[in-house]
């Protein structure tokens, strides 16, 4: 159940039709992959506090690195996939958040909208996986008029962006998503999935997730909504494995809530997907959501009754229940203490003697009175 989906789109389509196909020969098993501790982006209620030096990229654009990236920087006309949050400088008015929407945007450097030109300059000076804070002057933002779409962006407002460059396609690789055919978008996503699997095998989990997220970006909701029949099956055969692989990475990174979200996306399309049920159950179990985890494992067992990993997780939950019961039993025993024993009362012979003596005297008095009468 810790295998990564590596099959090509046609093979994945066949696997998708068989929910019990949990361990095909085309999958990469990586049980030995180590657990990595990392932090997801902050919750975004306010711009993050960054202590790194301010780098001047342009008269109106400055950058502070939050997390270093890797590889080269994108060239002009490269198609970049980014997540970002945006605030008005000097305020806590966040007006856009692609992390919250769980969908990165596509930015073609040199062809971005006028109000995103400052963001484009910043992204063009980042590397894949890099996260940075950008300070953008109003001239390269929403200008003198402010934003009609975002009323809390006033005229001449300087902006702050928290940006992550997930990855990019150089111009030589082809077209923007909007110019691609269905087959080209699915093929581009599948290439990213395969690259992600290679990173996963090398235990480069952050890099793997970047590739999976780029693949998912090709399969956005607007795109999927237009598909039906074989084209939808082809797209899901790439998209769902990327969500499952993201979940596998997130579990290893101890980001269990995010893993649950990825699995739930797959289950919304395929409620009998064994891997999604198993990985969601695993994440819930790690969070201590025992009953909900058991429910997912039992559903997975229904579709794959002989799966050893599922049976093992159910046994572990049963053992945890037993240990918890014993602890509670000991706790309550110590809290209330043993029930006191009822001891028989000792007979008071002196009281009995006096009762007998008084009765005898009364009897003798009555007999004496009767004799005198």
- Residue 108 pairs in a beta bridge with 79
Per-residue confidence (pLDDT) for residue 239, from 0 to 100: 94
Chain position carrying tokens 């400088």? 89
Phi, psi (rounded to 5 degrees) for 359: -65, -40
Q: 3.40.50.1110, 3.40.190.10, 3.30.200.20, 1.25.40.10: which CATH number matches 175-320? A: 1.25.40.10
Does the domain spanning 55-172 belong to CATH 3.10.50.40? Answer: yes
CA dihedral 229, 233, 234, 237 (to 10 degrees): 180
pLDDT at residue 22 above 50?
Answer: no
Lowest-pLDDT choice from 21-25, 151-155, 365-369: 21-25
pLDDT at residue 139 above 50?
Answer: yes
Q: Give the C-alpha distances (Å, rounded to integers) separating 216 from 135, 219, 254.
A: 29, 5, 22
Lowest-pLDDT choice from 3-12, 37-46, 70-79, 116-125: 3-12
CA distance 282 to 276: 10
pLDDT tens for residues 251-283?
999 999 999 999 999 999 999 999 999 999 999
Lowest-pLDDT choice from 39-43, 84-88, 357-361: 39-43
pLDDT tens for residues 322-353?
887 777 777 776 565 565 565 555 556 777 77
Average pLDDT value for residue range 211-232 = 87
* Residue 167 near residue 210 (C-beta atoms within 8 A): yes
pLDDT at residue 98 above 50?
Answer: yes
Average pLDDT value for residue range 199-227 = 88
Q: Identify which has the larger pLDDT, 2 or 24.
A: 2
Supply 228's token pair: 């039906």
Domain parsing of the chain, residue ranges:
55-172, 175-320
pLDDT tens for residues 295-328?
999 999 999 999 999 999 999 999 888 887 777 7
pLDDT at residue 250 above 90?
Answer: yes
Mean of pLDDT over the chain: 82
pLDDT tier at 183, thresholds 50, 70, 90:
very high
Strand ranges, E, within the chain: 55-58, 61-67, 79-88, 94-97, 105-108, 131-136, 159-169
* Residue 64 near residue 150 (C-beta atoms within 8 A): no
CA distance 45 to 41: 11
Q: Who contacts 292 (Cβ-Cβ below 8 Å, separation ≥6)?
A: 284
Q: What is the 3-state secondary structure (H, E, C) of 233-249?
A: HHHHHHHHHHHHHHHHH
pLDDT at residue 208 above 50?
Answer: yes
* Residue 353 near residue 361 (C-beta atoms within 8 A): no
pLDDT above 70 coverage of the chain, percent: 82
Q: Who contacts 40 (Cβ-Cβ below 8 Å, separation ≥6)?
A: 255, 258
CA distance 209 to 179: 25
Categorise residue 256: left if φ over 0, alpha if ψ from -120 to 50, beta otherwise. alpha
**Cα angle vertex 171, ends 169, 173, to 5°?**
65
Cβ count within 10 A of residue 206: 16
Cα–Cα nearest to 244, from 203, 293, 280? 280
Lowest-pLDDT choice from 4-8, 119-123, 324-328: 4-8
* Residue 64 near residue 132 (C-beta atoms within 8 A): yes
Cα–Cα nearest to 5, from 166, 200, 203? 200
């Amino acid at each position: 159940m810790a295998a990564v989906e590596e099959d090509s789109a046609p093979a994945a389509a066949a696997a998708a039709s068989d929910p019990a196909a949990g361990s095909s020969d085309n999958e990469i098993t990586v049980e030995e992959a180590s657990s990595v501790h990392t932090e997801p982006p902050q919750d975004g209620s306010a711009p993050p506090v960054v202590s790194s030096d301010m780098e001047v990229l342009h008269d109106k654009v400055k950058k502070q690195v939050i997390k270093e990236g890797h590889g080269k920087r994108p060239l002009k006309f490269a198609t970049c996939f980014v997540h970002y949050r945006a605030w008005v400088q000097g305020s806590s008015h966040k007006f856009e958040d692609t992390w919250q929407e769980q969908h990165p945007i596509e930015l073609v450097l040199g062809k971005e909208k006028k109000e995103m030109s400052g963001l484009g300059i910043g992204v063009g000076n980042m590397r894949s996986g890099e996260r940075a804070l950008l300070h953008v002057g109003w001239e390269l933002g929403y200008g003198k008029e402010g934003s009609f779409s975002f009323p809390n962006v006033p005229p001449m407002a300087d902006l702050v962006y928290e940006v992550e460059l997930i990855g990019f396609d150089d111009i030589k690789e082809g077209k923007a998503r909007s110019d691609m055919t269905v087959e080209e978008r699915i093929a581009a996503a599948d290439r990213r999935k395969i690259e992600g699997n290679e990173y996963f095998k090398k235990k480069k989990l952050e890099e793997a997730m970047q590739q999976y997220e780029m693949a998912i970006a090709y399969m956005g909701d607007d795109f999927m909504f237009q598909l039906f029949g074989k084209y939808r099956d082809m797209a899901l055969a790439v998209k769902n494995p990327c969500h499952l692989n993201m979940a596998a990475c997130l579990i290893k990174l101890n980001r269990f809530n995010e893993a649950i979200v990825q699995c739930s996306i797959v289950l919304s399309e395929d409620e009998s997907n064994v891997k999604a049920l198993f990985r969601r159950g695993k994440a819930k179990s790690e969070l201590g959501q025992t009953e909900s985890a058991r429910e997912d494992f039992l559903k997975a067992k229904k579709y794959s009754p002989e799966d050893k990993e599922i049976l093992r997780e159910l046994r572990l939950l049963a053992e945890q229940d037993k240990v918890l019961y014993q602890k509670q039993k000991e706790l309550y025993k110590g809290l209330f203490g043993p029930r006191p024993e009822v001891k028989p009362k000792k007979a008071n012979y002196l009281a009995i003697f006096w009762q007998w003596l008084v009765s005898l005297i009364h009897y003798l008095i009555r007999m004496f009175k009767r004799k005198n009468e």
